[in-house]
């Protein structure tokens, strides 16, 4: 077993660790351990979603993979990263509310590109949702 991991696996492991450390440092545990954190790093080309215990009851890993695959194309250009993050949030919201999931397109979200992030080296978006209220 190698202690020096390289490539995409290393980036994902680092994103996982960084996300977890952010939740601890910023006290994002939430009252019911319902935190969902989306981390995006333009430099590393990594989008990572961390879910805490109670959020994971409704937003399962396979749901995260499905939404991530459906929104992956937004992260190929820094001009559409904001649209990708918005589409991910709306996709996650569907699963959390128990609604039928359908991939969101930019037109479905708001019809304009003004929310895109044009100069982004690292963007961390934190969502704390009260799963019990959904």
Task: Tell me the per-residue pLDDT of 31-49, one tens digit each, with 9 for 90 and over.
Answer: 677 888 899 988 888 999 9
Q: Is residue 2 part of a domain?
A: no
Any domain includes 3? no
pTM given for the model: 0.73
Assess if residue 15 is contained within a domain: yes
Nearest Cα residue to 44 out of 118, 116, 121, 117: 121
Q: Hey, CA dihedral for 85, 58, 35, 11, is it positive or negative?
A: negative
Number of domains, the chain:
1
> Is 1 among the domain residues?
no
Name the residue range of residue 123's domain: 8-129
Tens of pLDDT, residues 6-34: 566 788 888 888 888 888 887 776 667 78
């Amino acid at each position: 077993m190698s202690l020096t991991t390289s490539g995409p696996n290393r980036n994902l492991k680092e994103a996982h660790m960084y996300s977890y450390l952010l939740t601890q440092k910023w006290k994002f545990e939430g009252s019911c351990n319902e935190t969902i954190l989306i981390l995006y790093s333009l430099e590393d080309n990594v989008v990572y979603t961390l879910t805490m215990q109670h959020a994971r009851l409704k937003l399962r890993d396979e749901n995260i993979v499905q939404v991530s695959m459906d929104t992956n194309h937004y992260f190929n250009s820094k001009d559409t990263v904001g649209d990708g993050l918005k589409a991910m949030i709306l996709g996650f919201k569907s699963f959390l509310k128990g609604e039928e999931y359908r991939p969101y397109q930019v037109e479905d979200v708001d019809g304009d590109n003004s929310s895109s992030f044009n100069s982004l080296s690292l963007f961390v978006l934190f969502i704390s949702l009260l799963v019990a209220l959904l």
